[in-house]
Amino acid sequence: MSTNIAIKVDNVSKVYRLGAKEDAQDSLLKSLVDAVKSPLTNYRKYRSLYNFSDLDFDNPEASTDPNVLWALRNVSFEVNHGEVVGIIGRNGAGKSTLLKILSRITPPARGRVEIHGRTSSLLEVGTGFHNELTGRENVYLNGTILGMRKKEVDRKFDEIVEFSGVEKFLDTPVKRYSSGMRVRLAFAVAAHLEPEILIVDEVLAVGDAAFQEKCLNKMQDVGSEGRTVFFVSHNMPAVTRLCERVIMLKNGQMADDGPAHDIVAKYMHEGSDTAAERSWPDNGSAPGANVVKLRRMRIKQENGETAASSDIRKPVGVEMTFDVVTEGFTLLPHIDVINEEGVCAFVSLDLDPAWRNKKRPKGTYVATAWIPGNFLAEGGFFINAGMVTLQPYKEVQFWEQETVSFHVVDSMEGDSARGDWAKELSGVVRPLLKWETEFSD
């Protein structure tokens, strides 16, 4: 194995056998007999729940037993030291199960996991905390669990406490902490005790905006120091800002693995009828009337390639291909850009001087509207496409809603309108405005 590999997951499956419903006894005698037999019966039930010899792990789909739950199915991947990897997927996709296996909380039913480096995990609020111990004592307890010596914890202690913001309650038992206080302290411990591999499961779901910003910045620092970060979240902007690589799980299986921008865009479009490209090759089904037929809509990059996602700093091309079947009309192609909340960001009319107020001959036209970089905010957008005739009379030729869609990704590289701001930014657009400051003392 390459010495650069931090984690290797090889053909891992995790299966749970659901317990069967017990029948109530209809007599006192039967209840007494069952009570006597219960130790042996319970032992057999326990053994049966963890016996998977009857399952075909190479072909999980062949299993029809309704009492068998496949949490993970033949998952394989490798992660190198220094990679920051996001894990995304719908609820029940197997994300938390995977992290529990990586954290050695539960073993796989089949497969092998190799981890090279000291691992720190934050899977739930207050993971590893003892309710009766104080915050101070739990810091040292967690450090010991992670394999740290007391001198190492002493060296990081002040930094942990400052980050957590619970100084006033440090000598209070954590059972009296709020959920926000617990996760603050838990994350501070997990991130500051110099783990070589940091595993975080949805920590940004708890805590205020300022704390979420600190978490993002800290995880980014951990990754920049050459340590490995595994980050599970439903917050797609946070995933794209933090991770360069994303693994998507679906129904316990690997659905995709690749660059964060591409995988997040695929995830956001999953279950939607719209994509980055749509065409109508058949004349009978193509939108349009007696003058124009719409043939294709697509989202493209500057190099001409179709793309479902775009860096916020790069221009996005909305391409409309249409056939003029009746000549002699002045046309007005136009698009609406709609965000995920249904708000219209803007409407754009085709004012290309080559064809403005000019009658068009028969033929195929490809019109592209370029949305500049540093204009739209991050998130998903849909394109409504329309066409009207202006002369010799006005008539709607087609009006197709949500023809194509794309996702704008805002990174944290510092040269977008976001700058060094890690928290959420509102608004439909996010222009990079020129600021000028005058100073006098």
pLDDT in single tens digits along all 441 residues of the chain: 456 888 999 999 988 877 554 555 555 566 665 655 566 555 455 455 556 666 666 666 656 666 777 889 899 999 998 898 999 988 888 888 898 899 888 888 889 999 988 887 777 655 668 889 999 998 998 888 777 788 888 998 998 898 888 889 999 998 898 877 888 888 888 778 777 888 888 765 555 666 777 777 777 777 778 888 888 887 777 787 788 899 999 988 999 998 887 788 778 766 555 688 999 988 888 999 999 999 999 999 999 999 888 889 999 999 999 999 999 999 999 999 998 777 899 999 999 999 999 999 999 999 999 999 999 998 889 999 999 999 898 999 999 998 999 988 886 666 788 887 766 677 889 999 999 999 998
- Which H/E stretch holds residue 317? strand 316-324
Which residues have a Cβ under 8 Å from the Cβ of 17 and sit 6 or more positions away? 48, 49, 50, 51, 52, 67, 68, 69
Work out the angle at residue 403's Cα, subtended by the Cα atoms of residues 400 and 404, and round it to the nearest 5 degrees.
Answer: 160
pLDDT at 317: 97
Looking at residue 85, its pLDDT comes to 92
Q: pTM for the complete prediction?
A: 0.64
Q: How far apart are the first and last CA of the chain?
A: 62
CB atoms within 10 A of CB 93: 20
Q: State how far Cα 327 lies from the chain centre.
A: 48
- Determine the pLDDT at residue 49: 56
Dihedral in degrees, nearest 10, Cα atoms 271, 274, 278, 280: 90
**What's the rounded Cα separation, in Å, for the pair 41 and 30?**
14
Which residues is 369 bridged to in the sheet?
318
Nearest one of 244, 246, 189 to 218, comparing CA atoms: 189
Q: What is the pLDDT of residue 56?
A: 62
The pLDDT value recorded for residue 239 is 82
Report the SS3 class of residue 373.
Answer: coil
Nearest to 254 by CA among 262, 246, 264: 246
Distance CA 217, CA 214 (A): 5
Query: How far, in Å, CA of 146 to CA of 118, rounded?
Result: 7
Q: Which of 388, 162, 382 is nearest to 287 (CA)?
A: 388
Strands 329-339 and 359-360: antiparallel
What residue type is 194 in one-letter code? E
Separation of alpha carbons 406 and 115, rounded Å: 37
For residue 332, give the nearest of 401, 395, 382, 290 by alpha carbon: 395
3-state DSSP call for residue 327? Answer: coil
Task: Please report, as a single letter, which amino acid is at residue 437.
Answer: T
DSSP state for residue 146 in the 8-state scheme: T
Which pair of tokens denotes residue 380?
Answer: 């998903």
Question: What contacts 76, CB < 8 A, 6 or more positions away?
Answer: 9, 10, 11, 12, 111, 254
**Strands lying side by side in the sheet with 316-324:** 277-279, 292-300, 316-324, 363-371
* Distance (Å, whole) CA 98 – CA 232: 10
Which helix or strand (DSSP H or E) is residue 79 part of?
A: strand 68-80
Q: What is the pLDDT of residue 43?
A: 47
Contacts of 31 by beta carbon, 8 Å cutoff, 6+ apart: 25
d(CA 41, CA 37): 6
Closest CA to 206 of 89, 124, 90: 124
Number of Cβ within a 10 Å radius of residue 45: 13
pLDDT of residue 39: 61
- Cα torsion 381, 281, 301, 258: sign: positive
